[in-house]
Amino acid sequence: QRGFLGCIRSLNINGMTLDLEERAKMTPGVSSGQNSLCHNRGKCIEKSSGYVCDCTHSAYGGPNCKK
């Protein structure tokens, strides 16, 4: 899958306008209203394919700052 870097004002495909603003608010692997996926003061950082936890301000490490 290839990403897009740039700006889009309006996108019409076959006469249908796509609501890209709503799609931009969705992150794969993260549910709306979900508790923090990063623990012990870890900071959740959104990526194009999901998220990562920044554990630099925590004494813990690992994918979710639990180790």
Cβ atoms < 10 Å from Cβ of 58: 17
Q: What pLDDT is stored for residue 11 in this prediction? A: 84
Greater pLDDT, 62 or 46: 62
Average pLDDT over residues 17-26: 73
pLDDT at 33 over 60: no
What CA–CA distance (Å, rounded) separates 32 from 35?
Answer: 9
pTM for the whole structure = 0.52
Greater pLDDT, 43 or 25: 43
Show the domains of the chain with their CATH numbers: 27-67 (2.10.25.10)
Average pLDDT over residues 53-63: 93
Q: What pLDDT is stored for residue 10 in this prediction? A: 80
